[in-house]
Amino acid sequence: MRYATLKVAEHLLLSVGRAWIKTRKRDHYYRKAKAEGYRSRAVYKLMQINKRFRVIHPGDVVVDLGAAPGGWAQLSRELVGPRGSVVALDLVRIAPIEGVSLLQGDLREESTMDRLLALIAGEAECVLSDMSPRLSGAHSLDHARSIELAEAALMVAEKVLKPKGNFVTKLFQGDMYAAFRRRVARCFTACRGFTPPASPARSAEIYVVAKEWLGPRQARRNL
């Protein structure tokens, strides 16, 4: 009996896995990323964000959090050009990308934050975070974990951004979203929530896009 149940569960998992791979292969952005040499379909989300809000410019220093497998880091490298630089961090190893400094670690740990700050010689013009928690399927838990990651990204932004620097972070919508966005808005000249067309349909993900950090003194006064 137990064996039969296991077999049914195994069969179900296999079919769900196969369906997921099939959907992914049919996906327009997945195929486009393969054809254009990008490591992830996520790259088109950053392309759409940047087209709309102009957060990355030639010569910028960009910090890319939750960067694996590296689509955003590849695009950031192209956008900043030879005068700029990109630092990419993730929990998991990122295969080398020419001209990108790589770091592996959990951003929520102090030691990772310290290593990141040591690597960014000088200050950044842009902090990006596409960090995602491992999804549990329980909406409020996934939302709370995404807020925790977005808070960690904001902390990095507050430590490394130059005044007038830009910040983009992903999170999953839920009851803490509005308060987080208000908090970001107090530290930047402009702040918007934006779901790029390349975000998966039915996903709760949204990007908070904030422009022109007010600098430490003004930001602290507004908190």
Question: Hey, which residues are catalytic here?
Answer: 170
Q: Which stretch binds ligand SAM (CB under 6 A): 36-44, 172-180, 181-189, 209-217?
A: 36-44
Nearer to ligand SAM, 72 or 207 (CB): 72
Binding map of ligand SAM across residues 199-218, x = CB under 6 A, - = no contact: --------------------
Q: Toward ligand SAM, which CB reaches closer, 132 or 192?
A: 132
Q: Closest by alpha carbon to 139, among 202, 198, 189?
A: 202
Check: CB of residue 99 under 8 Å from CB of residue 77: yes
Does residue 130 bind ligand SAM (CB under 6 A)? Answer: yes
Beta-ladder partners of 63: 87, 127
- Select the residue interacting with ligand SAM from 44, 72, 167, 213 (CB under 6 A): 72
| φ, ψ dihedrals at 99, nearest 5° | 80, 5
Q: Name which position in 48, 101, 132, 195 contacts ligand SAM (CB under 6 A).
A: 132
The answer to the question of residue 106 lying near ligand SAM (CB under 6 A) is yes
- Contact status: 71 vs ligand SAM (CB under 6 A): yes
Alpha-carbon distances of 19 from 8, 12, 83, rounded to whole Å: 16, 11, 44
Rounded to the nearest whole angstrom, what is the least distance from the CB of residue 122 to ligand SAM in the complex? 22
55 touches ligand SAM by CB under 6 A: no
The answer to whether residue 108 forms part of the interface with ligand SAM (CB under 6 A) is yes
Closest distance to ligand SAM from the beta carbon of 146 (Å) = 9
Asked if 42 touches ligand SAM (CB under 6 A), the answer is: yes
Q: Which residues bind ligand SAM (CB under 6 A)?
A: 39-40, 42-43, 66-72, 89-92, 106-108, 130-132, 149
